[in-house]
Amino acid sequence: MSDVYARPSRDDQPTVPDFAPAAETDDAVTIPPAPVQDQRPWGRDLRFMLVVLVAVVVLFIAFVFVVAFGPTAGAVSALAIVAAPIATMVAAYYGISLALRQVRDARDAAVAADARAHAAETSARESDAWAAQMESGLRVSVAKLRAAGVDTRDVERAAGTPDEFF
C-alpha cells in the first residue's frame, strides 16, 4: 500500500495502519525542532564583550591620565564624571540586549507552540476520520455477517460497542 494513508510523525514512522483514511486537508505540518537553550549565538555575545572592552579601555586611559597628571581632587572628580556615563551605557546596553533576547525567545516559543497546536488539530481531524471509517467498516462487517446468518455477538463484544449500537 502507499504512504498516502499514513499519518506523518516526527520519526517519519507511520503511526496509523496503511488502511487508514486519507486526510481531508492538504496542509503539510512540519514541527520545527525545539531550540537548544545551551547554545548562545556568538554575534550578540561578541558585541557585548566588545562594548565592555571598549568601556574598560576608555576607563583605563582616563585612569592613566589621572595618574600622569597628578591625582588631585579635581582629577578624581573628572574621572568619576567620565566613568559614570560609561558604566551606565554598558549597563543599559546589557539590559536592552537582554530584553530583546527574551522577546525573541518568547516569540520563538510562541511559534513552536502554534506549530504544535496546528499539528495536534490536524492529528485530531485525521484520528476522527480514521475512527469514522473504522466504525463504518465495523457496521458493514456486522451487517454482512448478519445477512450470512452468522452470530455477531462476539464481534460486537470485541469492538466494545454498546448493545444498541448496531
Q: What is the mean pLDDT of each run of 10 residues along the chain (166 residues)?
A: 46 48 51 54 75 86 84 84 86 88 94 96 95 89 89 83 74
Residue 23, number of CB atoms within 10 A of its CB:
19
Residues 29, 136: Cα–Cα separation, whole Å: 27
Residue 130, number of CB atoms within 10 A of its CB:
19
Claim: this prediction has a pTM higher than 0.75: no
Residues 45, 65: Cα–Cα separation, whole Å: 30
